[in-house]
A and B are shown apart, each in its own frame.
Chain A
């Protein structure tokens, strides 16, 4: 049986990114087919010269947030087993740098009986071929049909210093600057007009129509969402109690952890039941933005 071919790419504009991400695991949970094949960049050395059966579901992941194991992180993993190591707000070493990993989903083979297979696949729950790549250039972007623009997560001051960017830059401004330097701003805007994009955290700010509390002189935005976001809408998260609280809203807040709706109970969730999101929202929100909807 032939399958629809999609490629899931990952946008990564940041220079010198160190990677580790749970993208692989997440996608594995998204697409629990038997013939799921993973290529780890660590195993593959970044190349993908592997013969794969035509019916296989291929997920190529090249976006890894950097993870530096140490005692602290292991302790954190012990106390919070539902969380990957290294993302505790208490140990913001992880410069995982915000990098904009984004998954781009592009149908690569649209000829033939693609439509029929596609409609069949819709009924069969995602028999699609997935590959995940980093996108660093306009050329990479042009090959993709969907995009995720993640944010960074940690305040930029917490990340390992980068040579050319001021630590006072926030994630969204940094992303915008890097996109600008890469000549991606306008291609990204064009992409937004026509193709699905998921903006998360700073990526969501970047996709907003307006931003309050923006840096002096404003910042480049991609648009796409008819909302105004407030950067640091709940106040600075660096060193003040409120920021701490906001930071822990969905993560290590003890009262939340004692909530019966723990993450492990959320598996098997049906995406169509979006109302469940309200009940069981569970995610990191490092830099809580508040949103003022225009409409």
Chain B
């Protein structure tokens, strides 16, 4: 599992607005701050990059997740034949 993005601490709400027991969100390594990661060929984002003009996650998915998986399956096929 490859963590791609976390909530930046500086954009977290003030502590008094956090739910009780959520103070550990300010720990930069808290897994609960993860908002994007990759597991295998799967990409996980908790937010909506498709609603912005930031296309990096789309490019990332196509280039890093989709196309390499096709390359793998194709080369394995060629070995079989």
Contact = CB atoms under 8 A, between A and B. Distances in A.
Interface of A: 6, 21-23, 25-27, 29-30, 82-84, 87, 101, 105, 107, 110, 114-115, 118-119, 122, 126, 128, 145-146, 148, 150-151, 153, 192, 195-201, 204, 207, 224-227, 229-230, 233-235, 241-242, 245-246, 249-250, 253, 255-256, 263-264, 266, 269, 271-272, 274, 277-278, 281-286, 288-293, 295
A150 B32 contact: no
Given A242-B17, A245-B13, A263 B54 contact: yes
B41 A195 contact: yes
A195 B42 CA distance: 8
12 contacts: A22-B53, A26-B50, A118-B71, A199-B45, A230-B32, A278-B6, A281-B7, A283-B54, A286-B48, A288-B7, A291-B34, A293-B34
A147 B64 CA distance: 14
Contact of B70 (A145, A245, A253, A271): A145
A293 B38 CA distance: 12
A263 B53 contact: yes
A102 to B, nearest CB: 10
B63 interface: yes
Given A22-B50, A291-B31, 6 more contacts: A128-B67, A198-B43, A198-B65, A199-B42, A255-B11, A281-B36
A116 B65 CA distance: 19
Interface string B39-81: 1011111111111111111111111111101110011001000
A231 to B, nearest CB: 11
Contacts of B55: 25-27, 29-30
B42 A242 contact: no
A272 B58 CA distance: 13
A105 B62 contact: yes
Contact of A277 (B48, B56, B63): B56
A226 B11 contact: no
Q: Which of B25, B44, B50, B74 has the most CB of A within 10 A?
A: B50
Contacts of A255: 11
Contact of A207 (B7, B13, B42, B67): B42
A113 B62 CA distance: 21
